[in-house]
């Protein structure tokens, strides 16, 4: 359980500053993540439009919130 969000965010930002990947390294990571997702049967999606109505509704809510603040 994360108790100090600010500390985690600061850690992640520092880590991102230090970690620099070449295009080839980034592509290898992406491909490994894709293979893992396929092994877990997450991708490719059977029906890509499944749940799109919920995503559109959430996007509308988030967009309206960002305009009011």
Q: Which residue has the higher pLDDT, 67 or 53?
A: 53
- Number of structural domains (the chain) is 1
In tens, the pLDDT along 22-63 reads: 889 889 999 999 999 889 888 777 777 888 899 899 998 888
Global pTM value? 0.44
Q: Which residue has the higher pLDDT, 51 or 67?
A: 51
- For 44, residues 6+ apart whose C-beta sits below 8 A from its C-beta are 38
Task: Decide if pLDDT at 68 tops 60.
Answer: no
- Dihedral sign for Cα 52, 58, 60, 63, please: negative
Retrieve residue 57's tokens: 């509704």
**What DSSP character marks residue 19?**
-
Residue 69: per-residue pLDDT:
54
The residue segments making up the domain with residue 12 are 5-68
Residue 28: per-residue pLDDT:
93
């Amino acid at each position: 359980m994360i108790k100090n969000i600010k500390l985690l965010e600061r850690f992640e930002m520092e880590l991102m500053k230090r970690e620099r990947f070449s295009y080839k390294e980034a592509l290898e990571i992406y491909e490994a993540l894709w293979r893992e997702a396929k092994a877990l049967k997450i991708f490719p999606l059977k029906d890509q439009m499944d749940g799109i109505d919920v995503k559109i509704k959430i996007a509308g809510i988030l967009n309206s919130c960002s305009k009011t603040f």
